[in-house]
Amino acid sequence: MSSSNILFRLSDSLFVFVGENGIKNNDHLSLFLEVDNHGSLPIGWRRHVKFSLTVSNQLSKKLSVKDHESQQWYEQKSPSWGRLSMLPLNKLHAKDSGFLLNGDLKIFVEMDVLEVIGKLDVSEETSTIMETMDVNGFQIVPSHAEYVSRMFEKHSELASEFRPKNQNLRTAYISFLLSLIETMCQSPQELSQDDLSDAHAALGFMRDAGFKLDWLEKKLDEVAEKKNNEKASQSGLQEMEEDLRDLKRKCSDMEALVEKEKVKMSAAKAPLSFDDVVYVIFSSVLVASFIPVCCCTCRYLIAYPKGNNSDHLSELSLFLEVDQSRLLPIGWRRHANFSFTVLNQRSKKLSRKHELQQWFEQKSPGWGRQSILPHNELHAKDSGFLVNGDLKIFVEIDVLEVIGKLDVSEETSTIIETMDVNGFQILPLHAGSVSRMFERHSELASEFRPKNPNLRTAYISFLLSLIETMCQSPQELSQDDLSDAHAALGFMRDAGFKLDWLEKKLDEVAEKKNNEEASQSGLQEMEEDLRDLKRKCSDMEALVEEEKEFLSRSMGKEVDNKFTWVIRNFSSLQSEKIYSDEFVVGGCKWRLLAFPNGNGVKCLSLYLDVAGSESLPHGWRRRAELSLSVVNQVCDELSENKVTEHWFDARDCDFGYTSMLPLDTIYDKDCGFLVNGDLKIVALVKVFEVIGKLDVPEETESLSKVEEDGGVEASDFLDVSLNESMDVNGFQVLPSQLESVSRIFERHPDIASQFRPKNQHLRTAYINVLLSLIKTLCQSTQELSKEDLNDAYASLAYLTDAGMNLDWLEEKLEEMSEKKEKQEAGEKRMKEIEEELKDLKLKFSNLEAELEKEKADVSVARAPLSFDDVV
C-alpha cells in the first residue's frame, strides 16, 4: 500500500476509510465505515446499519482477521464507526503472512442497512455497484476474470483488430462472447437447432466487430455435429426405450416396493411428501438445491415446513448438509461458518437470521436449526414472510478449513444470482431498468427469436449496455462510438427486438453530437477572437497608463495622488523582491515594493516605501493614507483593494500587506488578474502631515504668502512701509520672500549686476514680478494656458530690458513651453486611444455575452441523457 490513508468507495453514499499507520499512529491498521457526503444530508438524518469488516488472508482464509459484527446508528454527530486496531502492522507486513500479496491488501465489507431516517443518498436504480477490472483493455466483473484471461492466453490475437473503443460497448461485446461460449458448453440435448442458428448469427456479429474467432467457429461446427449425432442417437434410443417400457411394466410392482422402502429410510432427514418438503420452498427456493461454496465443498439445503420431529411440528426447521458425502474419502471433514436467513419481504430488518459454526464429517454430514420460525408467525397475515405464497431463504457459507479432496473445481465456484423479468434472466441490479423498459415498450421482445437462456441474457445485457452508451454526454461519445452503436442496434433488431424508439433516440444523440462538435468549433473560434480582443484591450490600457505617466512627468508635479505599476511577465520573475519607479505625492518621494513569490507566505506581498529615506533628516516622519489595489483586468469590480493609514519614519519606512492576494488566485487563468503575463497594481496616496524637509522642493512655498483679505493687488505692494521690509542684495523684500530671493541670488549671483533702476519702489516691483514669473513656471503644464506662457515671455522680456541677467530663466520657460506642447499632444493622443479603447471594450463585452450564450447552448447540447430519457 502506497499511501497512509485511503478511501475505498463502496457506493455513492458509503466508503471505507483505511489508515495504514493507524488513526493515532498506534501501529495498527485502522478501518472505518463512513457515510459519504453526510454534510449534504438533511437535518436529523440517521442510518441504522449492521456491518462487519474482514482483512483477508490470501494464503489461508481461516487466518483472515474478521471484526465481530457491529450494529450502529450513523448520524450527524457520529457519521463513522469502525476499529482503531484492526491488525498489527508488523503482522500485516510480515513476510509470508498472507495478508499482502504482490503488494495488494484485500478488505471485505458486509453490511445490511436496517433503517433509514431522512432521504436516501442515491436512487434505488443506481444503488448497486458492481466492481469491474481490466483484462486486455476490457472492463469485466471479477467472476469473469479467469475465463477472459485464459481466453486471451490461448488466443492472443483475439482482439487485435477489434474496433469499438467505447468502454460500455467493449464490455457488452466481451460479455456477449462469454455468453456465446457458455451456450456452446451446454449439452447437445439442452441445445435446440434454433439455439445453434442464433449462435451462428451471434458469431457473425462478433466477427464483424473485429474479433478473430476461427477457433470458436470450428468449435461451433463441432457442437452442431454433436447435436446432429445426438438427434440420430435419440431416434434409436426411443426404440430401445419402447422395448424397455414393457420390461419396466413387469417390474412395476417391485419398484413401487423399493420406493416405499426408500421413503421410510429418508424419513429422519428428508421431507415425507411433496407437500411436506417441496411446498416450503414455494416458488423461490429449491429443496435439496445444490450449493457450490468457496471452491471447496458442495452442500444442499433441507427445509422441514412442519418441523423434523414431533417436538417441533409447529415450527420451520432448516438444515445444511454436505451433498453426496458417501462419495468423499475416509476421514473427510469440513469446518464451516454458515447462517440461515428467512427473509421478511416487507421489512428487511424483521428478517430472521441464525448463525452457526460446525465441523461437517462422515458421522454428522448435516447441521442446522430445529426451530427457525413458528408457523403462526410465518403464516400470519401481513407478516411479510410469505408474499404471493413465496418464502425466501438465504444461506451464507464461509468454509474455514477442508480436510479431504475438494468437491468442485475453482472455475465453477462463483455463482451470480439472477432473476426473471419478462422471460429474461438478469442480475438483480438490472431488474428496475429492464422492468421499466418493458413497461414502456411492451412489444419490445414480442418477436424476439432466441430461446436459449444464456443467449437471451447476453442480448438483454447488450441492449442495456447500448442504452448506457447513449446515456453518455455527446462530449464523451466519439463518432466511432455512434457508428458502433448503430451496428449494435442493427444486430439487436436482427434478433427480433422492436427498437424503433431506440433508433429514434440514437438519431437524436447523433444529431446532438454533430451540434456539439459544430458548437465546439464555433466556441473555440469565439474564444480565440475574445482572447485577441482582450489582448488588444490590455495593450491599449497599458498604453493609456503610459501616456498618463508621461503626462504626469511632463507636468512637473503629480497630477493627482494615483500611481499605476504594470509588472511585465510577472510569472517569470526570479527576483525575491522588486521596486517600482519613484513617484511624488505631497512633496514626498514614494515607490512600491513587491515580493512576487510572497514574503514567507503563498501570497503576493505588497508595500508602500519612502524612497531615499536614508537621506532624510533625523526625526523625519510622514503620515499618509495608502490604498493598494491589484487590478482585475477582466472585471474591475473583482479587483483586490486594501486601504489603511500609517506613520512612516526611519524605523518603519515601508508599510503594506504581506498577504495581499493568494498566488493561486493570481495564476488562475479564469480569474482575470494576469493578462498576457502582466500584473497591474494601482496605488493611491494621500499625505496628511510631513515632519522634516520635503523630498521635492516646492517653489511655491518659498514665494511670498499673501494674507487672505479678499485678494491683494499690485499697488498694495507699493504701500508697504520700508520699515516692514528687509534688504537682500539691494532689494527691499517682505520677510516671507526672504528665503526665495536669497536662494535666487545664491544660485545666480550676477542676476542684478547690470540692473539699472535705482528707485527702491521700482526695484521692489521688479523683484516681485520676477517672483511671480517663477511662481507661474512652478505650475503644472495642465494648469498653464498658452496665454499664460505668452504673458510669461512678455514679463521675461520686461525684466531683461531692465538689465536683469535671466538666461537661466529663459531656458526654463522654453522647457515649460515644450512640455506644454507635448502635454497637449499627449492629451489629444490619449483621448483618441481612450475612444478606441471604449470601442474595443464594447466589442469585447458584446463578444463575451455572445460567448456565454454559446457556452450555455453547448452545455445543453453536452448534457447526457438519463435511462428514462432513452427508454
Q: How far is CA 203 from CA 159, 199, 736, in A?
A: 14, 6, 112
Whole-angstrom Cα distance, residue 128 to residue 10? 9
Chain centre distance of CA 603 = 25
Q: What is the grid cell recorded at 259?
A: 420406493
pLDDT given for residue 19 in this prediction = 56
CB atoms within 10 A of CB 668: 12
Q: Which residues contact 534 (CB under 8 A, 6 or more apart)?
A: 634, 675, 844
Q: How far apart are CA 16 and CA 35, in angstroms?
A: 9
Which run of H or E residues covers position 501? Answer: helix 500-554
What's residue 610's pLDDT? 93
* Model confidence pTM above 0.85: no
What CA–CA distance (Å, rounded) separates 798 from 809?
13
Question: DSSP code of 430?
Answer: G
Give the dihedral of Cα atoms 236, 239, 240, 246; nearest 10 deg.
Answer: 170
Q: Is 285 exposed, middle or buried (0-12, 13-18, 19+ CB in 10 A)?
A: middle
- DSSP letter string over 800-859? HHTT---HHHHHHHHHHHHHHHHHHHHHHHHHHHHHHHHHHHHHHHHHHHHHHHHHHHHH
Q: How far apart are CA 458 and CA 451, in angstroms?
A: 12
Structural contact between residues 203 and 458, judged by C-beta atoms closer than 8 angstroms: no
Grid cell at residue 181: 461460449
Which pLDDT does position 710 carry in this prediction? 32
Residue 147: count of CB within 10 angstroms of its CB:
17
Q: For the chain, which ranges sit under pLDDT 70?
A: 1-25, 119-131, 246-248, 250-301, 304-313, 405-417, 548-560, 693-724, 861-862, 871
DSSP secondary structure letter of residue 745: H
Q: Is 508 helix (H, G, I), strand (E, B) or coil?
A: helix
Confirm if 203 and 195 have CB atoms less than 8 A apart.
no
What whole-number distance in Å separates Cα of residue 366 and Cα of residue 357? 12
Beta bridge partners of 395: 340
d(CA 520, CA 526): 10
**3-class secondary-structure state, position 445:** coil
Instruction: Sketch out the chain's domains with CATH numbers.
Output: 5-122 (2.60.210.10), 140-236+424-498 (no CATH), 296-407 (2.60.210.10), 558-691 (2.60.210.10), 699-824 (no CATH)
Pairing of strands 315-322, 366-374: antiparallel
Q: How far apart are CA 463 and CA 175, in angstroms?
A: 12
Residue 862 amino acid letter? R
What local confidence, expressed as pLDDT, does residue 264 receive? 56
Q: Taking the mean position of all CA atoms in its chain, how far away is CA 752? A: 83
CB 493 within 8 A of CB 221: no
Q: How many CB atoms lie within 10 A of CB 315?
A: 21
Cβ contacts of 846 within 8 Å, gap of 6 or more? none
Residue partners of 323: CB distance under 8 A and separation at least 6 = 290, 298, 299, 300, 407
Residues whose CB falls within 8 Å of the CB of residue 710, separated by 6 or more in sequence, listed in order: none
Alpha-carbon distance of 122 to 166, in angstroms, equals 26
- Give 12's DSSP letter: S
Q: What pairs with residue 813 in β-bridges?
A: none
